[in-house]
A and B are shown apart, each in its own frame.
Chain A
Amino acid sequence: MSVAAATTVIGKHRTTAVASNPDRRRRVRTAFLFLTPSLIGVVLFLVIPVIFVMVLSLTRWNLLTPIQWVGFSNYANIFRFDGFGHSLLVTAYYVVLNIPVQTVLALGLALLLNSQRRGSAFIRVICVLPFLATPVAMGVVWNWFFSPTGMINQFLAHLGITGPAWLSDQATAMPVIAFANIWQYAGYNMLFFLAGLQAIPLSLYEAASIDGATKIQQFRRVTLPLLRPALMFVLVTGVIGSFQVFDTVYVMTAGGPGNATKVANLNIYNTAFAGFRIGEASAMSVVLFLIILVVAIAQFTYFNRRTTYEIA
């Protein structure tokens, strides 16, 4: 199944007209039966919470004292008093560090490993290994690697460079966090690019080279455009995920040094579950949701306007 097909499938499926009869009714009932568990899950654990969080954002509440209704004041206060604006900036910085590098790396890996040479298959599988790692557990390993006397600095010392105190230095803390996530997901994203690459028929390349296109031109004119659906998928899911980074930050820097890595999700977590300020945390969640939504829609629009039509 190609990713290209996956994203253009809605709307092509028609329901065929069937004569109404007891057999059909039975089948409709079975259909709903099949659907019920996941439907309950979606409504109870996704739809209702989204509505509920918007309601909660208008309250001041700590779960133990009576609810107070405070209108929209939380939305102002989270920026004025809870440093949420700073958190959003820090998160955006992380996204900018993380996504371009990760995407380029994933694409590079896919191009490199989309080959029949001996060893490629093995390395393709190795690339998926980081994806399996518990982010928190791997964060601990990175703490060790990047500690002031850890492996990275030892290695740099051999080269005569004194490494910084990576996670205690405001300038390097966030790049290290970005590195941890790039390491974790580059191989996983490579899979989507691989799928996209494999969906491109050889005949296109043959036709292009007959027309005299160089390999670079072939890459730009054949490969890249046809990879757009995969690219879009990787970028959209990557950005949505990156805006919610939490695990690695929690275990590696806990938001520090100072507030240098206090990403939005961490701020929400601290506000809700350390400070028990449910109203403010909900307002933060809603704001973050809106930002993610706007960014995702922007990406969709950008890509839809420029996606190449399917081949065949």
Chain B
Amino acid sequence: MNARRPRRSSLRWFSPRPARTLARAAIAAIALTLLSGCAEWGFGGSGSANGTVTLVYSLWDTHEQVGYQQSINMFEKMHPDIKVDIEEIPYGSYQQKITAEFITGGAPDLFWVNTPWLGSFVKNGMLTNLTPLIQASHINMAQYYPQLVALHSVGPKIYGLPKDWDTIALYYNKAYFARLHLAIPANLSWNANGTGSFVTFLKAATTDKSGHNALSPQFNPNQVATYALGVSNDPQSGWGNYTAQAGGKIIPYPYAPVASLTSPQVNVGMSFLTGTLTNAHVIVPGALSGPNANGNNLEQMFSQGQVAMWENGDWNTLAVKTSVTFPVGVATLPIGPVGRVSVFNGLIDGLNSHTKYPKQAWELEQWLGSPQSQAILGSGGYVWPAIRSLDPLFLKYWAKNGIDMSAFLTEAHGQVVNFPVSPGVGDALTEVVNDLGPAWLGTEPTHQALKTAQTDANYILRTS
């Protein structure tokens, strides 16, 4: 083949020298990027301009964000040289996103931390130990729930000022119970062998399509119209409460590298749900409650009157209020072999250990842990404040809106067990829930499912 003269083409700019074209295009591209800013080329993004520092604060709850914005507006008024940008990250990818941002060096200055990943964040060195700062600022830690302080501490170090708490109770359909002329007794209890006033009550509260309740001999378990109780395959809002009431623990102690799911107490608590209550047909069967019995369908079933009492955390109150047409009450959980125990949890604002603005970030952290800020969030009905004396504000808001939330408060002042803390516990519990699915569906004995769950959880806890 001989060399040919370059052909003319209608696309003049792109011929005859492809190399020149490429070079021109590359130069154009680089020019374009200069328009878009230097941060993307790795020259650190600026967070301060003419004396004002901008902090990035991330969270995941769209509704609570409204309350937080009000609180932050006040903060910005009090600190004219600090601006706060709220960044919402979807809950499902929150832990992953913050961790990835930490690896790339661009994590927010302050970010919500939930207990499933608190242990990992601590171990990874992502959070600042606030103890010296707290001492220097003379913050009174006794104003918070002591369980929250313990939850977020490792020995003398604490990684966030407690700002809210939540626990689990029973939302119930007042209209349904009125129709049945059934009052909910104050202290229902259950025993390890499956007897007790709780089971009897649940039977009385379960009705089939012909109107017979589960105590009646004509009760048809294949034609249940309303189940008395809906509990999910969930360590916080579901079975975790019953295993705790039986004296069992998910992990033996905070930051443990193993789980303790095969203890007899955990088995008792779990089997009470998957065995006793399921066999009595008073609890929503695993197959109906959602994939892996995760309870995703329970909220809808509750609003449609197919479940009389829905066990879940107080963060669902707004959803319940907007989706149901009947009056709603809240009852305390029953009393188990070791007492009435509920799973207790709370969030903190983690202070990025590599923040560029430690002073300003600490100001924000202090503010969000302060009575003034928590009063805004409590009185707006967003969340129970971690400062004990402010609880009445939240109670009052919901009382005005038609729901009596005192059951949650009763439990919070009673026996509670903290959500487990350990590196990797969030992922471990996801596996545990998967492994327990067959037990809830009745296709595997509970103790066996717990054994599998234990093996999988141990692996994750050990290697996280």
A adjacent to B, CB under 8 Å: yes
Check A62 against B96 for contact (C-beta < 8 Å). Answer: no
A 52-91 contacts with B by CB, 8 A:
60, 62-65, 77, 80-81
Q: Is B319 part of the binding interface, using a Cβ–Cβ cutoff of 8 Å?
A: no
Question: Which residues of B81-139 have CB atoms within 8 Å of chain A's CB atoms?
Answer: 93, 96, 99-100, 102-103, 123-126
CB distance A64 to B459 under 8 Å?
Answer: no
Are B99 and A276 in contact (CB-based, < 8 A)?
yes
Q: Is A219 an interface residue (CB 8 A)?
A: no
Chain A residues within an 8 Å CB radius of B99: 64, 276
The interface bits of chain B over 391-431 (1 if a CB of A lies within 8 angstroms of the residue's CB, else 0) are 00000000000000000000000000000000000010000
State A60–B463 Cα separation when bound (angstroms): 7
Chain B residue numbers with a CB within 8 Å of A100 are: none
B456 within 8 A of A: yes
Given the known inter-chain contacts A64-B124, A64-B125, A81-B459, please indicate yes or no for A275 contacting B103, CB distance below 8 A: no
Chain A, residues 271-284, CB within 8 Å of chain B (1/0): the string is 00111110000000
Taking a contact as CB atoms under 8 Å apart, the answer to whether B463 and A64 are in contact is no
Q: What distance in Å separates the Cβ of A18 from its nearest Cβ neighbour in chain B?
A: 23
Interchain CB contact (< 8 A) of A65 among B123, B427, B456, B460 = B123
**B93 partner residues in chain A, CB cutoff 8 A:** 274
Chain B nearest CB, measured from A85 CB (Å):
15
**Are B463 and A65 in touch, CB under 8 angstroms?**
no
Collect the chain A residues with CB atoms within 8 Å of residue B464's CB: 62
Taking the closest CB of chain A, its distance from the CB of B330, in whole angstroms, is 35
User: Which residues 422-459 of B sit at the A interface, judged by CB distance below 8 A?
Assistant: 427, 456, 459
What separation, in Å, do the CA atoms of A80 and B462 have in the docked complex?
A: 15
Q: Is the interface of B mostly helix, strand, loop or mixed?
A: helix
Is B124's CB under 8 angstroms from A77's CB? no
Smallest CB gap from A274: residue in B: B96
Which residues from B are CB-within-8-Å of A63?
103
Would you give the 0/1 interface string for A251-277, flagging 1 where the beta carbon is closer than 8 Å to chain B? 000000000000000000000011111
**Which partner residue on chain A sits nearest B462 by CB separation?**
A60
> When A273-B100, A276-B99 are in contact, do A77 and B459 touch as well, CB less than 8 Å?
yes
A62: chain B residues at CB < 8 Å are 124, 464
Residues of B within 8 A of A275 (CB): 427
**Identity of the chain B residue whose Cβ is nearest the Cβ of A259 in the assembled complex:** B434
Q: A217 vs B93: C-alpha distance in the bound complex, in angstroms? A: 59
Instruction: Bin the interface of chain B by size.
Output: 10 to 19
Q: Is the CB of A273 within 8 A of B459?
A: no
Known: A77-B459, A81-B456, A81-B459. Is A273-B96 also a contact (CB below 8 A)?
yes
Closest to A257 in B: B291
Size of the chain A interface, CB-CB below 8 angstroms: 13
Task: Name the distance in Å between A33's Cβ and chain B's nearest Cβ.
Answer: 16
> Which parts of A76-111 form the interface with B (CB within 8 Å)?
77, 80-81
Q: Are B124 and A65 in contact (CB under 8 A)?
A: yes
Q: What CA separation (Å) do A242 and B155 show in the bound complex? A: 51
Q: Are B96 and A64 in touch, CB under 8 angstroms?
A: no
Q: Give Cα A77 to B460, complex, Å.
A: 11
Chain B residues 220-279 with CB under 8 Å of chain A are none
User: How far does the Cβ of A260 sit from chain B's closest Cβ, in whole Å?
Assistant: 13
Bound: A65/B126 CA distance, A: 10
State how many angstroms separate the Cβ of A247 from the closest Cβ of chain B.
18
CA distance A115 to B96 in the complex (A): 54
Q: How far is the CA of A65 from the CA of B121 in the complex (A)?
A: 11
CB-CB under 8 A from B459, the residues of chain A are 77, 80-81
Q: How far is the CB of A25 from chain B (nearest CB, A)?
A: 26
A212 to chain B, nearest CB (A): 39
Task: Please tell me if the beta carbons of A65 and B96 are within 8 angstroms of each other in the complex.
Answer: no
For residue B460, which residues in chain A have a CB less than 8 angstroms away from its CB? Answer: 81
Q: Which of A60, A62, A80, A277 has the most CB of B within 10 A?
A: A62
Instruction: A273 to B463: give the CA distance in the assembly, Å.
Output: 16
Q: In the complex, what residues of B have CB within 8 A of residue A65's CB?
A: 123-125
Judging by beta carbons under 8 Å apart, are B100 and A64 in contact? no
CA distance A151 to B407 in the complex (A): 50
The contact string, 1 if C-beta is below 8 Å from chain A, for chain B 4-19, is 0000000000000000
Cα distance, A77 to B102, chains bound together (Å): 27
Which of B93, B459, B463 lies at the interface centre, i.e. has the most chain A CB atoms within 10 A of its CB?
B463
CA distance A30 to B317 in the complex (A): 74
Residues in chain A near residue B123, CB distance under 8 A: 65
User: Which residues of chain A are near B463, meaning CB under 8 Å?
Assistant: 60, 77, 277
CA A63 – CA B120 in complex, angstroms? 12
Q: How far is the CA of A77 from the CA of B458 in the complex (A)?
A: 12
Nearest residue, chain B, Cβ from A256 = B291
Residue in chain A with minimal CB distance to B97: A274
A274 to B464 CA separation, bound complex (whole angstroms): 13
Task: State whether A64 touches B456 (Cβ < 8 A).
Answer: no
Tell me which of A64, A80, A273, A277 contacts B102 (CB under 8 A): A64
Bound-state CA distance A62–B463 (Å) is 10
**Complex contacts, B126 vs chain A, CB 8 Å:** 64
> Whose C-beta in chain A lies nearest to the C-beta of B102?
A64
Q: Shortest Cβ distance from A157 into chain B, in angstroms?
A: 27
* Chain B residues, Cβ within 8 Å of A277: 463
Q: Which residues of B contact A276 (CB under 8 A)?
A: 96, 99
- CB proximity of B461 to chain A, nearest CB, Å: 12
Chain B window 325-364, contacts with chain A (Cβ cutoff 8 Å), 1 for yes, 0 for no: 0000000000000000000000000000000000000000
Closest to B459 in A: A81
Q: Output the least CB separation between A80 and chain B (Å).
A: 8
A303 to B204, CA, bound (A): 74
Residues from chain B with a CB closer than 8 A to the CB of A273 are: 96, 100
Min C-beta distance of A186 to chain B, whole Å? 30
| Chain B contacts to A: CB under 8 angstroms | 93, 96, 99-100, 102-103, 123-126, 427, 456, 459-460, 463-464
With A65-B124, A274-B96 known, 6 other A-B pairs at CB within 8 A are A63-B103, A64-B125, A80-B459, A274-B93, A276-B99, A277-B463
Query: 7 A-B Cβ contacts within 8 A?
Result: A60-B463, A64-B125, A65-B124, A273-B96, A273-B100, A275-B427, A277-B463
